[in-house]
Amino acid sequence: MELIFLTICDVKSGRDEAVYSRIEKLRGGEGVTPLVIGRLYEDADVMLLLHSADMESLDDYLVRNVRSILDVQELIVVPIYEFRLLSSFGFVVEPERGGASAKVLEPEELLFFMAKIDVAPTRDRAVYEHVLSIKPTREVVPLMTGHTFHSKEFDLVIFFLARSLENAWDFVKALRVFDGVWDSEVNLIAHFEGLTTLKRFKELVSAVSARGGRRRRAGGKRIAE
């Protein structure tokens, strides 16, 4: 079964650049495709989004390529189920070629966040549907979301852009009043890069979403309503 995996690498203090440089050179193979690398502002952890259809392949890949890095002290791997690109993800673009004649494309500089939401039992589906229904505004743009297999700490992840810290807080505050949201944790993604082309990223995520949708229709009671 194809899934997206959120991987968070705890990096030894002072070795941030060395570790990041090694991880950003990861290439696909062994049934695993690295999609995105990012650095989390709060803990200086390196975040990875990976795609794989096979858990054992993923385990081999991580052991061989990530856990082999001496300065990666701890690794958290969370599978994301029903990972969806939201409508505004269509505005994400590949980098443009530079040059004096290039059109100036910068409309605004939005900050990139990852919110981890702890959901009350019985409310998974409702909270998920609520997140899917959030419309982008000038200030906040939800990009992608998914269930995180109901870990102790968080059950839902949502990536979003916000114009400012204040706008991000308004967004999270509004989420927190929704019935079923128990707790939240927000990470500012200080830096991120695609490790594959945007086109390939969309293809892989779309395949995951389609499969998740079919699966849900076939056995719709797997996630609490």
Partner 1 sequence: MQSEEKRTTGIKRLETRIGRLWGFRREEKGVVARLSPERTVGRLVHLFVASINTVGSFLREKMGENGVQSMFEYEGERFGEGWEKRAWRADDIAENMIRLNFQPFGVEAQYSGDKDKATIVVSKCPLPERFLQSVEFLQEFTIEPQVSIRGDEMFASLDKVSQTWDWPPKKTEICATCRIVMPKLGKKLGFSWKHHITNDVPPKCVFDVEITKHQKQT
Selection from 199, 209, 206 nearest residue 93 by Cα = 199
Q: What does DSSP assign to residue 219?
A: S
Amino acid at 138: R
For partner 1, the closer CB: 151 or 197: 197
For partner 1, the closer CB: 55 or 136: 136
And the tokens for 98?
A: 């530079």
Sign of the C-alpha dihedral computed for residues 120, 121, 125 and 128 taken in this order: positive
Binding site residues, partner 1, CB under 8 A: 24-25, 39, 41, 88, 91-98, 100, 102, 104-112, 141, 161, 190-198
Cβ at position 104, least distance to partner 1 in Å = 6
* Total residue length of the chain: 225
Sheet containing strand 46-52, edge to edge, reads: 156-162, 140-147, 72-85, 3-11, 46-52, 32-40, 181-194
Cβ at position 135, least distance to partner 1 in Å = 13
Cβ at position 217, least distance to partner 1 in Å = 31
For partner 1, the closer CB: 113 or 128: 113
Cβ at position 92, least distance to partner 1 in Å = 5
For partner 1, the closer CB: 18 or 55: 18
